[in-house]
A and B are shown apart, each in its own frame.
Chain A
Amino acid sequence: MTDATLGRLGRLRRLVGRSPSALMGIVLVSAFFTLALAAPLVAPFDPTAQPAKRLLPPGGRHLLGTDEFGRDVFSRIVHGARISLQVGVVSVGIALALGGTLGLIAGYCLGVVDTLTGRVVDVMFAFPSVILIIAISGVLGAGLSTAMVAIGIVYSPIFARIVRAPTLAVVQQPYVEGARAIGAGLGRVVGRHVLPNIAAPVIVQTTLSFSTAILSEATLSFLGLGTQPPDPSWGTMLSGGRRFMELAPWVTVYPGLAIALTVLGLNLLGDALRDALDPRLGQPDT
């Protein structure tokens, strides 16, 4: 198993070498993560302070201009990277933990447990997701943390489905059944046999969900349910600056660009990973 994984990683390395889009994905994603980590060092101003006149065009002291309250747009984008990427990490983490566990249990235990989880997953899939996110964050109360929980919950069924099928396939293998018979615990079976088999689809789904989570936060912010003011997330900057799109485009164009590039990078990366890790895609072309 480990050999196979190594082999796939090797394929990934080769792929990146040859595929411009994969390279671009990696560059974009790492650039924004670096920006987020180094935010306090990079940003010239406190992102929530109102030090300047409102709606100053880009240039001078304010590289990307100021917004309607006189806040520095560049500093807000830099700090916004932290919030937006945090949304991605946390909500996908929740989805992975919740959905992954559910999928593992269902695939491992089968029977009633499997049927029950299957129905729960069906219900969540059939529930319109935007509406579900809005309803859950309504119940939990508005704010960044509840938005992340809501997004995480809504994305979890995808992971449950992705994890269940390979788990089921592995658990039914004779050698695993044998291991279970001689008393190997759940942890051992999962660690040794299941995880290596589900790693590839989960990694791919994680990158893709990451980008959708960032967009979902933006939509929540548009509806006034995301990040709380005055904190900057790219979504709140976009929705707050919409009023000024025609008069002061810099207030929204740059955060819009930040979102677009990050999501693009994550998708390119996800697609590259899929190409590298999905054995069904056959041989790399010759």
Chain B
Amino acid sequence: MAERDPSVAALSNRLSRRQWLTSAAALAITPAALARPMAAEAQSSGKPPKPGGTSVWAAETDPVALNPITNSNFSSTQGFEHCYESLTAFDAKAQIVPALAERWDTPNPTTYVFHLRRGVKFHDGGEFTAEDVKYTFDIVLDPKGPAFWRGNFDQVDRVEAVDRHTVRFTTKAPFPPLLGALAILRSSAIIPKGAMEKLKLETQVIGTGPYRLVEYVPKSHIKLRKNPDYWGRPLPYLDEVTFRILEEEDARVAGLRAGSLDYAFLTPEGVQRLRNEPRIVVSSRPRTYLYAFVINRQRKPWSDPRARQALSLATDRQEIIEKVFSGGATMAGPIPFGFGDWYLTAEELQAKWYRPDLAKAKALLREAGVPDGHAIDLLVTPFNQNFPGLAVVFADQLKRIGLNVTIRQVEQGVFLKEVAPPTFNYDIQANAYTARHDPDGYVYNGLHSQTRNAAGYSNPKLDELLTKARTTIDRAQRKTMYREIQQILLDDAPNVWLGNDNVTEGLQSYVKGYEQSPYTYRAWGLRHAWLDK
């Protein structure tokens, strides 16, 4: 059974144009976004792609280090995604497609056999074989090893090289998230055998991907050159691409205006600023970046679900979306809006604590024995420019039900120490979930009582459902389970989920073929991009 049915279906596929317009209508400050053509329409030209050329793109974050095993945080992945590949990949619509594995089958529910693509070469000329896959996963699966996202593979029992071009993954239980876990490139990129020992993977890259790393200068740029031996020829089209690291949007907007950048990630303010630039095409769609307030369920009174429900009821998510995201976000539950068909709709959310009700919230607080004027320590870090804003609006909203919130804004390293288990030194903290390959990724870690980040949260019924859902092959059954899981979570309110924002990008109009990814990954888009000039 070749499971081609993706565990994550396309965000955009499921998102009708009408839905998009509705969410865009909330853009109080950016009506211009409405007038923008959709990316796919604007960037396809009907002409055959023209290979060649060099291009400068902006990267909005610095990857810091490029080791795909030990540094698979979001910005790092955005740094190495053009150079490394895994057995499977996501296309621009987040469908799982073959990559280093040409095809795969599942002879039984706990076995995946991957048939590797032949004639694939690493950037150093070495041949890609089953040995490399085994080497990579020996490191990833090592319980004492440094793999960042080992948790994504915790159901994998062993990985064996059957022959030179065949690999077998054996799982402890049926494990449908596996294909997505490979595709998401978080501790799943294949490195050549011996690379961990021989190379400095932090700054040296030997992958199989469409681009080779020429150089990475931290905080400055990542220079890439076309891999002429790429198995996916004629891709990629561009000969040379440099990602200029510009964390300040002012510099990115200036670059697009002056024509020195071909691509840049934009905030809603950036879109507004570029609205009169005829040569710049802006496109936007919801992405898998889910914001939530995490409640410290270990600490009184937040161990009482009624107190947490009160917080959720007091939250005016529409106000947050307008004030913090300039309308460029959509309300969501534990699974982001538009993530396949796993998410709960706005109507379902409104029925469950998402319609602000201050009187009821106050009553719940009283029932839970929370005194009027109770002090709340709201921890936040300016690492993401939206976090402080979330805190400011949320603090004001909680004031309306008589809670006295003090915002504690700390630098990222301090924040990480405060929220790390077993410290958990906060009442509420602002946080976000980045790219996940499977609904399991949004609800298992941190909410299943046996995970490190659960912070005292335990619901036996939920635990059972979470375990069952991640080991069930049948998609329809899984869907039912994840809907139920989300309903339970909304009732229990261990977090106050808010919504996911948009990926918004600006391109010079002569850049064709680029497609936006709901993960804000650019690998697929970049290898299809070409210059019409």
In this complex, the interface size class of chain A, counting residues with CB under 8 Å from chain B, is 20 to 34
CA distance in complex: A23, B310 (Å):
57
Distance to closest chain B CB from A64 (angstroms): 19
Residues of chain A contacted by B131 (CB below 8 angstroms): none
Given A50-B393, A55-B29, A243-B267: A70 in contact with B410 (beta carbons within 8 A): no
A138 at the interface (CB under 8 A from B): yes
Residues of chain B contacted by A55 (CB below 8 angstroms): 29
| CB-contact partner of A69 in B269, B392, B411, B413, under 8 A | B392
**Are A229 and B388 in contact (CB-based, < 8 A)?**
yes
CA distance in complex: A243, B323 (Å):
13
Distance to closest chain B CB from A222 (angstroms): 10
Residues of chain B contacted by A141 (CB below 8 angstroms): 410, 414
CA distance in complex: A230, B393 (Å):
9
A180 at the interface (CB under 8 A from B): no
Residues of chain A contacted by B249 (CB below 8 angstroms): 243
CA distance in complex: A229, B390 (Å):
11
**Are B382 and A224 in contact (CB-based, < 8 A)?**
yes
| CB-contact partner of A244 in B269, B408, B414, under 8 A | B269
With a 10 A CB-CB cut-off, give which of A48, A68, A138 has the most chain B CB atoms: A68
CA distance in complex: A50, B250 (Å):
27
B396 at the interface (CB under 8 A from A): yes
**Residues 229-244 of chain A: 1 if any B CB is under 8 Å from the residue's CB, otherwise 0?**
1100000000010111
A228 at the interface (CB under 8 A from B): yes
Number of inter-chain CB pairs below 8 Å: 62
**Residues 225-257 of chain B: 1 if any A CB is under 8 Å from the residue's CB, otherwise 0?**
000000000000000000000000110000000
**Are B409 and A142 in contact (CB-based, < 8 A)?**
yes
With a 10 A CB-CB cut-off, give which of B267, B381, B388 has the most chain A CB atoms: B388
Residues of chain A contacted by B267 (CB below 8 angstroms): 243
**Are B272 and A68 in contact (CB-based, < 8 A)?**
no
**Residues 204-248 of chain A: 1 if any B CB is under 8 Å from the residue's CB, otherwise 0?**
000000000000000000001100111000000000101111110
Please provide the chain B residues from 463 to 495 with a CB less than 8 Å away from any CB of chain A in the complex. Answer: none
Distance to closest chain B CB from A56 (angstroms): 12
Please provide the chain B residues from 74 to 132 with a CB less than 8 Å away from any CB of chain A in the complex. Answer: none
**Are B408 and A70 in contact (CB-based, < 8 A)?**
no
A49 at the interface (CB under 8 A from B): yes
**Are B410 and A243 in contact (CB-based, < 8 A)?**
no
Distance to closest chain A CB from B389 (angstroms): 7
| CB-contact partner of B409 in A138, A224, A242, under 8 A | A224
**Residues 251-285 of chain B: 1 if any A CB is under 8 Å from the residue's CB, otherwise 0?**
00000000000000001010011000000000000
Please provide the chain B residues from 385 to 403 with a CB less than 8 Å away from any CB of chain A in the complex. Answer: 385, 388-389, 391-393, 395-396
A242: nearest chain-B partner, CB-CB: B250
**Are B322 and A54 in contact (CB-based, < 8 A)?**
yes
B28 at the interface (CB under 8 A from A): yes
Distance to closest chain A CB from B501 (angstroms): 14
B368 at the interface (CB under 8 A from A): no
B407 at the interface (CB under 8 A from A): yes
**Are A225 and B411 in contact (CB-based, < 8 A)?**
yes
CA distance in complex: A228, B395 (Å):
13
Please provide the chain A residues from 64 to 81 with a CB less than 8 Å away from any CB of chain B in the complex. Answer: 68-70
Given A141-B414, A142-B411: A229 in contact with B323 (beta carbons within 8 A): no
With a 10 A CB-CB cut-off, give which of B272, B408, B409 has the most chain A CB atoms: B409
**Are B414 and A138 in contact (CB-based, < 8 A)?**
yes
**Are A69 and B323 in contact (CB-based, < 8 A)?**
yes
Residues of chain A contacted by B28 (CB below 8 angstroms): 54
Given A69-B392, A230-B392: A246 in contact with B273 (beta carbons within 8 A): yes
Distance to closest chain A CB from B326 (angstroms): 8
Given A243-B269, A247-B269: A142 in contact with B408 (beta carbons within 8 A): yes
Residues of chain B contacted by A68 (CB below 8 angstroms): 323, 389
| CB-contact partner of B395 in A142, A230, A244, under 8 A | A230
Please provide the chain A residues from 23 to 62 with a CB less than 8 Å away from any CB of chain B in the complex. Answer: 48-50, 54-55
CA distance in complex: A54, B385 (Å):
18
**Are B407 and A54 in contact (CB-based, < 8 A)?**
no
B270: nearest chain-A partner, CB-CB: A243
**Are A228 and B323 in contact (CB-based, < 8 A)?**
no
Residues of chain B contacted by A70 (CB below 8 angstroms): 323
Distance to closest chain A CB from B247 (angstroms): 13
With a 10 A CB-CB cut-off, give which of A141, A143, A229, A230 has the most chain B CB atoms: A229
**Residues 163-190 of chain B: 1 if any A CB is under 8 Å from the residue's CB, otherwise 0?**
0000000000000000000000000000
**Are B414 and A229 in contact (CB-based, < 8 A)?**
no
Given A68-B323, A243-B269: A138 in contact with B411 (beta carbons within 8 A): yes
Please provide the chain B residues from 333 to 349 with a CB less than 8 Å away from any CB of chain A in the complex. Answer: none
Distance to closest chain A CB from B81 (angstroms): 27
CA distance in complex: A180, B101 (Å):
90
Residues of chain B contacted by A243 (CB below 8 angstroms): 249, 267, 269, 385
Given A54-B28, A68-B389, A138-B414: A228 in contact with B396 (beta carbons within 8 A): no
Residues of chain B contacted by A224 (CB below 8 angstroms): 381-382, 388, 409, 411
Given A224-B382, A244-B269: A69 in contact with B389 (beta carbons within 8 A): yes
Please provide the chain A residues from 229 to 286 with a CB less than 8 Å away from any CB of chain B in the complex. Answer: 229-230, 240, 242-247
Residues of chain A contacted by B323 (CB below 8 angstroms): 50, 54, 68-70
A246: nearest chain-B partner, CB-CB: B273
B405: nearest chain-A partner, CB-CB: A230
**Are A50 and B409 in contact (CB-based, < 8 A)?**
no
CA distance in complex: A54, B27 (Å):
12
**Are B409 and A228 in contact (CB-based, < 8 A)?**
yes
A139: nearest chain-B partner, CB-CB: B414
| CB-contact partner of A229 in B273, B322, B392, under 8 A | B392
A247: nearest chain-B partner, CB-CB: B272
CA distance in complex: A228, B408 (Å):
7
Given A243-B269, A244-B269, A247-B269: A69 in contact with B393 (beta carbons within 8 A): yes
Residues of chain B contacted by A228 (CB below 8 angstroms): 406-409
B382: nearest chain-A partner, CB-CB: A224
B249: nearest chain-A partner, CB-CB: A243
Please provide the chain A residues from 135 to 183 with a CB less than 8 Å away from any CB of chain B in the complex. Answer: 138, 141-143
**Are A142 and B414 in contact (CB-based, < 8 A)?**
yes
Distance to closest chain A CB from B277 (angstroms): 13
25 A-B pairs within 8 Å (CB atoms) are namely A50-B393, A54-B29, A54-B322, A55-B29, A69-B392, A69-B393, A70-B323, A143-B408, A224-B381, A224-B382, A224-B411, A225-B411, A228-B406, A228-B407, A228-B408, A229-B391, A229-B409, A242-B250, A243-B249, A243-B269, A245-B250, A246-B269, A246-B273, A247-B272, A247-B273
Query: Which 6 residue pairs across A and B have the least CB separation, nearest first?
Result: A224-B382, A142-B410, A230-B392, A229-B392, A229-B407, A243-B269
6 A-B pairs besides A54-B28, A69-B389, A247-B273 with CB distance below 8 A are A50-B396, A70-B323, A142-B414, A224-B381, A224-B382, A245-B250
Which residues on A are within 8 Å of B, measured CB to CB?
48-50, 54-55, 68-70, 138, 141-143, 224-225, 228-230, 240, 242-247
